């Protein structure tokens, strides 16, 4: 059955039984599925289920990207999105559904277009100018930056620095509070940069560096 939970750091609970396995599916519903919000939801769910017996945490969102889905899996959290992506893993139960290259006419979303949009975001994030901002932050991973100081150090415009740090915030790589910018996941950011590395751009930079 479904019940609304009050005074708990999560939204819904479903009591289910599959064969002889009983489980309490604890759900956190988010209006957005970017990594930043996923990390928040994971923290809320972990807190919520700490005193719950046989509880399994699940995030529900309109859309969760491939990276977001990996974040959930690594945290031991299930997910369901409105595009049909589902991952539930507990006891001997595994449900893993990934929708690839299918148009959801009812939602008006082309998943191929969403994938292309994610790739464009990564290209912008790791473009030559944006990379200067990221490189400075990675080389000074413990530093607490203001936007102006980071812009000056990276030799990038305030606008470009703002756009880069905003994207990093959405992707869950930085913490922005009261004008202070702090890198929170340098290792993961470096891994993502390496996976998005464009050898052609860097070759051009090398050939025309003086």
pLDDT value at residue 109:
53
What does the block give as tokens for 148?
């102006």
Q: pTM of the prediction?
A: 0.70
The CATH number given to 2-99 is 3.40.1350
Beta strands in the chain (DSSP E): 2-4, 12-18, 21-29, 55-61, 78-81, 86-90, 93-97, 103-104, 109-110, 144-145, 174-177, 180-183
What does the block give as tokens for 65?
């990207």
Strand order in the sheet with 2-4: 2-4, 12-18, 21-29, 55-61, 78-81, 86-90, 93-97
Domain regions of the chain by residue span? 2-99, 119-202
Whole-number Å distance between alpha carbons of 54 and 11: 17
Whole-number Å distance between alpha carbons of 154 and 134: 8
**CATH for 119-202 (1.10.340.30, 3.20.20.140, 1.10.10.10, 1.20.120.80):** 1.10.10.10
Low-confidence ranges of the chain (pLDDT < 70): 1-10, 100-122, 197-210
CA 3 from chain centre, in angstroms, equals: 28
- Burial label for 155, CB within 10 Å (0-12, 13-18, 19+), is exposed
- Quick: pLDDT tens for 74-111: 999 999 999 899 999 998 889 999 886 554 444 455 55
pLDDT value at residue 105:
43
pLDDT value at residue 104:
46
pLDDT value at residue 20:
80
């Amino acid at each position: 059955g479904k019940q609304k939970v009050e005074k708990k750091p999560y939204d819904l609970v479903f009591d289910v039984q599959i064969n002889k396995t009983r489980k309490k599916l604890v759900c956190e519903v988010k209006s957005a599925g970017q990594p930043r919000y996923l990390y928040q939801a994971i923290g809320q769910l972990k807190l919520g289920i700490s005193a719950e017996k046989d509880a399994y945490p699940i995030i529900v969102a309109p859309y969760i990207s491939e990276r977001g889905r990996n974040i959930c899996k690594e945290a031991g959290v299930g997910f369901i999105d409105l595009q049909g992506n589902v991952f539930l893993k507990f006891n001997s139960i595994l449900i893993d559904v990934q929708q690839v290259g299918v148009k959801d006419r009812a939602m008006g979303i082309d998943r191929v277009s969403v994938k292309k949009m994610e790739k464009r975001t990564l290209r912008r994030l790791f473009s030559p100018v944006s990379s200067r901002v990221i490189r400075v932050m990675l080389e000074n991973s413990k530093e607490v930056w203001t936007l102006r100081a980071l812009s000056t150090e990276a030799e990038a415009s305030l606008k470009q620095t703002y756009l880069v740090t905003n994207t990093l915030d959405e992707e869950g790589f930085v913490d922005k509070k009261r004008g202070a910018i702090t890198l929170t996941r340098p290792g993961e950011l470096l891994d993502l940069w390496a996976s998005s590395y464009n050898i052609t751009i860097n070759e051009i930079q090398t050939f025309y560096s003086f």
